[in-house]
Every structure is written in structure tokens, then in C-alpha cells.
Homo-oligomer: A and B are copies of this chain.
Amino acid sequence: MRTRPLKVALLGCGVVGSEVARIMTTHADDLTARIGAPVELAGVAVRRPSKVREGIDPALITTDATALLKRGDIDVAIEVIGGIEPARTLITTAFEHGISVVSANKALLAQDGAALHAAAGQAGLDLYYEAAVAGAIPLIRPLRESLAGDKINRVMGIVNGTTNFILDKMDATGAGYQEALDEATALGYAEADPTADVEGYDAAAKAAILAGIAFHTRVHLDDVYREGMTEVSAADFASAKRMGCTIKLLAILERAADGESVTARVHPAMIPLSHPLASVREAYNAVFVEAEAAGRLMFYGPGAGGAPTASAVLGDLVAVCRNKLAEATGPGESAYTQLPVSPMGDVVTRYHISLDVADKPGVLAQVATCFAEHGVSIDTVRQQGKDGEASLVVVTHRAPDASLSGTVEALRKLDTVRGVASIMRVEGE
């Protein structure tokens, strides 16, 4: 056992960082035994130096993160500041100074993962970020290492706790979106500005990271099709229930049938109640993985929160420290397949479409013809009429997203179709 400690710079000491610092202090002996050397919190960079931070030696606090990294004795930096800058520059500075990095920063990794991996690789250093996707749930390591001898064909998951909390409330209570969001905000599950969550940006960043790892290719945030869940209504949930489904905001990453490309998307979708993802409650996350040899795996747990996220950060810290002692690095970026990401139009899935139509004979025939002309085959139709108004609910068989878009465009032009009330994809068998 080495007695000279490995020195850690903690960049950021908010929700996640404060828990990282706490566990590093309270569980120091365990970390020492597991790593094979003591780890020492050598400095903590923050924005507001005068803020009282329980359990942290004030002498460690600095507002100059760059100087902390440059002082020459740091082995590992933990970046839990978030956002693009200064996080990106700090991580790059760390690599320039021989410092391996553990980060929880999904936004940055989804945008600049390739460049950061390249910088780590050139410097012969580690860049680990288990905490960036699905909080405490071990996901990146299982995909990258446990399934390294398998071929992953599909990843489908609930990777945003805030939106799952909202959708779960809507499902359980019949509440509308705004009411459920208000409750989530009151309980601390949603931030004051919930845009990143409810518009799917957070899930899209995680989707990009997961897709790259699952398919051994590069997937940028901009490659991910994204639809938020602010339009999901109580009526959609009622429709879903009639079909034996619920609605979840899903990140779905698929290898195309011909194996020559992949798709990555985030959108609300109906899934059957019998699907394991349907029973993921409150702010929990869960990710389904389908691999050629392994079959269907699921990983479930808390997707966020200070302590759970810190657990993932510390798991990475132990690995990076062990690598450092062994003078080795863990697996870096694997993008050798260079599979391109296809546009959303190429995605093949099923659809649930609600139409407001005139309540007169021949409407169904007209609508059905429209679907047929666009090559979208209908699975079921439910017709409901009252007071001269009627609604048609159509569920399709699997069809390319582009064909569905074409169908909807054509439907809107029909005199007998007064409006397209909702369109939602249907996932899961």
C-alpha cells in the first residue's frame, strides 16, 4: 500500500460536489483500502468563496480553479461545475497538466466529447463520466466494459427524472401538464426554469453519450432528434389507457435493420403497461438494453440527486486512481465503427394519431386511403361520434417516420379532417 496520497481537485461544490466532498471525508479509510493509496481533497474551486460549506476546511476553498490545476501536485480533477464554460477549459487545462478527469457534465460531453476524449488520449490520461448519464445507475461502465464483447442493437430508457415525475403524476392523478409541473417544482423535482428537462435537452445530451458508447461511433447532441413533453395532455393519457399503455419521455437509440447506420431520438411515447419501463415511478430512471448475445437487460435506479450522483463520481474516482497507480488508463473513446446517424425520417416505429373529423359517412374511408397512399398500414381505428363532431383514433403498424409525416400533412388538407389533435409514437412490444 502506497502512503503518499493521491491529490484530488474538486471543481464545483454544489449539489453533487458537496456530497463528493462529504463522502471523501467520511469514507476515507474505505477509499484508501479500495484504491491502494489514500486520496486527499487538495482544493475545492467554487464561485462564492464566502459561502459556508459544512465539513469542508475553508483553507481548501478557492475561486481560482485554473491555479488549483496548475499548482503541480494534483493527480485527479473532479469537474462538477456543469455547463460548457469554464468547465471545458478547466478539463483541457487538467489534461495539459497531467491530471485525469472525472466529470458529471452531460451537456459538455454531448457537445464536445470527441475533442475531450482526444485530449485525454493524447495526454495518456483518463476521462470518466459515469455520473453524466442516469445518476447513480451503473450504465456507462456496463455498456463500455461488461458488454464490450457483445453487439448492442437497441437502448431505450427513461433518463430524465423530472419529466418522469411529471408524467407519472399525470398518469396517476389525471392532472394536466401544468398542474403536474407545479407539483414537481414545489417538491424540488423541477428547477425554476424547467426548460432543459421538459423540452428534452437533458435527455438528448444523455442519449448522445449513450449512443456513442453503445454503437462505438460518434454521436453529437445535434444528431439527436428531440421533442419535449410539454404538449402531452390528460387526453393523451386517457387515450393511452384505453390502449393499455402509459406515456413516458424516452431516449431511444437503435441500430438500423441493415446495420449500416444508427438513430438517436428523444420524445414522449406510449408504451404498454406490461413493459418494464412502464412501471418506473416518480423521478426514477431506467434503461433497457438489447444486445445480440446478452438479450434484454434493464438497469434501474435514482437518476439524479446529490448523493446518488456522488456515488457514481466516486466509483469513477476509485477507477481513475487505480489506473494512475498502475500507470495505465481505462478504455477511452471507441468510435471505430464510424456508423452515421440517420435522420428522424428514417426511424421506423408505430404511431397513435387522434383526428377531429366531420361526423358523416365516408370519412373513415377517406382517412384510410390517405394512410394507404403514404404506405402507412393501419393496425386499429376507433371512431367516436357525438353532436355532429367525431374523433378518429388511428394506431398504425410500423412505418418510417417520414411516411407518417407525409400522411399527417395530407390528412390536414382533407376537408373532412377538422384537426390533428395529437400524434404520438408507440414503442415497446
A residues neighboring B (CB under 8 Å)? 19, 23, 27, 30-31, 33-34, 130, 136-138, 141-142, 145-151, 216, 276, 279, 291-302, 305, 307-308, 310-319, 322-323, 326-329, 331, 334, 336-337
Contact = CB atoms under 8 A, between A and B. Distances in A.
A331 B322 contact: yes
Contacts of A307: 292-295
Contact of A298 (B300, B318, B329): B300
B151 A297 contact: no
Contact of A310 (B293, B310, B331): B293
A85 B302 CA distance: 43
Given A148-B319, A298-B299, 20 more contacts: A33-B337, A137-B297, A138-B141, A138-B147, A141-B145, A141-B146, A149-B314, A149-B317, A149-B318, A150-B311, A276-B279, A292-B307, A294-B307, A296-B302, A297-B302, A299-B299, A322-B331, A326-B328, A326-B329, A328-B328
Contacts of A27: 149, 151
A181 to B, nearest CB: 24
Contacts of A300: 276, 297-300
Given A293-B23, A298-B301, A138 B142 contact: yes
21 contacts: A27-B151, A30-B151, A34-B148, A34-B334, A136-B291, A136-B297, A138-B141, A138-B146, A138-B147, A141-B146, A147-B315, A148-B318, A148-B319, A149-B317, A293-B308, A293-B311, A297-B300, A297-B302, A299-B300, A323-B328, A326-B328
B138 A297 contact: yes
B315 A146 contact: yes
Nearest to A334: B34
**A-B pairs with lowest CB-CB distance, top 7:** A149-B314, A138-B146, A136-B294, A297-B301, A138-B142, A293-B311, A294-B311
A17 to B, nearest CB: 14
A250 B345 CA distance: 46
Contacts of A141: 138, 141-142, 145-146
A34 B301 contact: no
Contacts of A296: 301-302
Nearest to A24: B149
Given A145-B319, A318-B145, A326-B328, A294 B302 contact: yes
Contacts of A216: 30, 33-34
A189 to B, nearest CB: 15
A165 to B, nearest CB: 15
A148 B302 contact: no
A301 B317 CA distance: 28
A101 to B, nearest CB: 16
